[in-house]
Structure 1
Amino acid sequence: MRPGQGLLPLEKAPLVCSLLLQAPPGEFAQVVQDLRALVHDEELLRREAARVGAWHSKNHFPPVQINEHTVLVTRYNDLGGNRFFDPQDKLSFAFYHLSGVASEYRLHDVLLDEGELQRGALHKGLKEYVSCHFPTGNCCVFRKNARKTQIFVACIEAHQYQPSGCWNGLWKSDWTLALTPVTTQVTGIFLLQMHYFNGANLHVTVSKSVSEPLNVTDQSQLSIDFVKLVKAEDTKLHMAILENMQALSEDIWGKNLRRKLPITRTFINWNRLLNEQPL
Structure 2
Amino acid sequence: MSSTIEFASSFIEGAPPGELADVVADVQALTSEEGDLIPSLAPAFERYNEAQLTTVKLPGSSQEVIVSEFNKVDGNRYFDPESQTSFEIDHITQLDQTASAAQSAPLESQNAELIKSLLKSLGIHAREHYPSCSYGVYPIENDSAVAILLVANRYSPNNFWNGRFRAIYQVPVSSSSTNVTGKIHVDVHYYEDGNVALNTTKSVDLSVPSVSAESIISRIATAERDYQEELNRAFVRMAEGAFKGLRRQLPITRQKVEWEKVGGYRLGQDISGGKGR
Q: Output the TM-score relative to the length of structure 1.
A: 0.85
Alignment check: 8 A CA contact 1:140 1:155 kept: yes
Q: Which is worse superposed, 63-72 or 238-247?
A: 63-72
Q: Deviations over 1:188-245 (max 9, x none)?
A: 211111111111111211001111221226xxxx111111101110011101111111
Name the structure 1 match of 2:207.
213
Quickly say closer, same or farther: Cα 1:32–1:118, change in 2 above 3 A.
same
Look up the SS of the partner of 1:15 in the other structure.
helix
1:102 maps to 2:99 = yes
Which has the larger share of strand? 1
The runs of at least 4 consecutive aligned structure 1 residues that moved more than 6 Å come to none
1:142 maps to 2:142 = no
1:124 maps to 2:120 = yes
Alignment check: 8 A CA contact 1:253 1:274 kept: no
Question: Identity percentage over the alignment?
Answer: 21
Quickly say closer, same or farther: Cα 1:267–1:44, change in 2 above 3 A.
closer
How many residues align structurally?
261
Alignment check: 8 A CA contact 2:85 2:105 kept: yes
Residue from 44, 52, 60 that aligns with 2:37: 44
Name the structure 2 match of 1:245.
235
Alignment check: 8 A CA contact 1:138 1:158 kept: yes
Q: Structure 2 stretches of 5 or more lacking a match?
A: 268-277
Q: Output the TM-score relative to the length of structure 2.
A: 0.86
Look up the SS of the partner of 1:194 in the other structure.
strand
Please tell me the residue identity of whatever aligns with 2:124. Answer: E
Q: Which has the larger radius of gyration?
A: 1
Please tell me the residue identity of whatever aligns with 1:105. Answer: A
Which has the larger share of helix? 1
Alignment check: 8 A CA contact 1:28 1:53 kept: no
How much does 1:175 deviate?
1.0
Q: Structure 1 stretches of 5 or more lacking a match?
A: 1-8
Q: Which is worse superposed, 183-192 or 121-130?
A: 183-192
Aligned CA-pair RMSD? 2.3
Q: Deviations over 1:79-120 (max 9, x none)?
A: 122111111222211113332220111222433x65211100
Alignment check: 8 A CA contact 2:239 2:259 kept: no
1:272 maps to 2:226 = no
Q: Deviations over 1:100-143 (max 9, x none)?
A: 220111222433x6521110000100100110011222211111
Q: Deviations over 1:142-193 (max 9, x none)?
A: 11253xx531111011111122221111010011111123211211211111
Mapped partners of 1:17, 1:122: distance in 2 = 36
Alignment check: 8 A CA contact 1:138 1:156 kept: yes
How much does 1:277 deviate?
3.8
